[in-house]
A = this chain, B = another copy of it.
Amino acid sequence: MTLSAVHTRSDAYPTRLPEESWRERQDPVVWGRWTPEAPLTRAQTEAFAETGFLVLENLFTAQEIDRLRDESLRLRSGETGLRPDNVVTEPGSDAVRTIFRLEDESPFFNRVARDARVAGVVQFLLDDALYLHQSRLNYKPGFTGKEFYWHSDFETWHAEDGMARMRAISASILLTDNDALNGPLMLMPGSHRHYISCAGETPEDNHKSSLKQQEVGVPSPDALTRMAERFGIAYGAGKAGTVVLFDCNTMHGSNGNITPFPRSNAFFVYNAWSNRVGAPFAAARPRPAFLSSRDPEAPLDIVAGPIR
């Protein structure tokens, strides 16, 4: 693989205009060419291309899953001394809801982010070197977990971070057992082939409110209804240790959770090296670096073998 040049700055995905519009995707979903040596089966590769997501089970050993959980508890406890601007708390409390820049906060999660079983698969799908555009540890408590409304990540990354092309994939590593009832990640299969250009200008410092409740960069109820009727709604569930990969433009969201069972995951956004971000396409200033890594020094060094 060679490191290709950064794309030119023409805007393939205009958004935040006065009117909402529905456009076609301009980019491949699977950039790599499947061969028998690929880290996914042909059926898995085709399913990802078709639906915009893929659930991978049994990637990690029981010991590795225990360590994933232990390390996430340790980080959330605060004992490791988190950088304040990497932490978001639950509205109305100081319980930790999100820890950003996981690869900087934890050597263990730094290793997880570079694991061949996840990053190697993403590298095959994107056919380029990778870097982390964003990473975070999410914790949605039992009883009071709040919903996260429908959105395409790419729309925000394009408008506010300056990501030119749809050549990024998110990996959510479940740290708790997740089923249909405790607020799982819901996805509209096939929605990733369509781009909803959202209405409305980006307010100054939009990310300060959008992390708790998104208001701009959200499709209209009418567009969401059309999408849901056309594509249906699936969800990514499984035991702790399951990995859900999804394309940067897959429409997704999650319901609140009154069950006693919390939901937690480690979330890594891999962007193609050739797709490194530039000036935002529809915002005055880029979002801060904890949301959008702007100057990666080098592509990720992907590592095979067990995590110790």
Any B CB within 8 A of the CB of A290: no
**Residues A147 and B228 in contact, CB atoms below 8 Å apart:** no
**Which A residues between 143 and 188 are near B, CB-CB below 8 angstroms?**
143, 147-150, 180-181, 183, 186
Any B CB within 8 A of the CB of A84: no
Q: Which residues of B contact A186 (CB under 8 A)?
A: 181, 258-259
Q: Which residues of B contact A183 (CB under 8 A)?
A: 255
Choose among B142, B228, B229 the residue that contacts A225 (Cβ–Cβ < 8 A): B142
Any B CB within 8 A of the CB of A261: yes
Any B CB within 8 A of the CB of A28: no
Bound-state Cα–Cα, A233 to B258, Å:
11
Bound-state Cα–Cα, A238 to B181, Å:
15
Kindly report how many copies of this chain are found in the complex they form together: 2
**Residues B259 and A256 in contact, CB atoms below 8 Å apart:** no
Size class of the contact patch on chain A: 20 to 34
Any B CB within 8 A of the CB of A296: no
Any B CB within 8 A of the CB of A221: yes
Bound-state Cα–Cα, A247 to B181, Å:
21
**Residues A147 and B224 in contact, CB atoms below 8 Å apart:** no
Any B CB within 8 A of the CB of A257: yes
Bound-state Cα–Cα, A258 to B256, Å:
9
Choose among B181, B235, B255, B261 the residue that contacts A258 (Cβ–Cβ < 8 A): B255
Inter-chain pairs besides A181-B235, A254-B258, 14 sampled, C-beta below 8 Å: A142-B221, A142-B225, A143-B221, A150-B258, A180-B235, A183-B255, A186-B259, A221-B260, A224-B260, A228-B260, A229-B260, A253-B258, A255-B258, A255-B259
Hey, which bits of chain A sit against chain B, CB under 8 A? 142-143, 147-150, 180-181, 183, 186, 221, 224-225, 228-229, 233, 235, 253-261
Name 9 A/B residue pairs within 8 A (Cβ), A-sorted: A142-B221, A142-B225, A143-B221, A147-B256, A147-B258, A148-B258, A186-B258, A228-B261, A254-B258
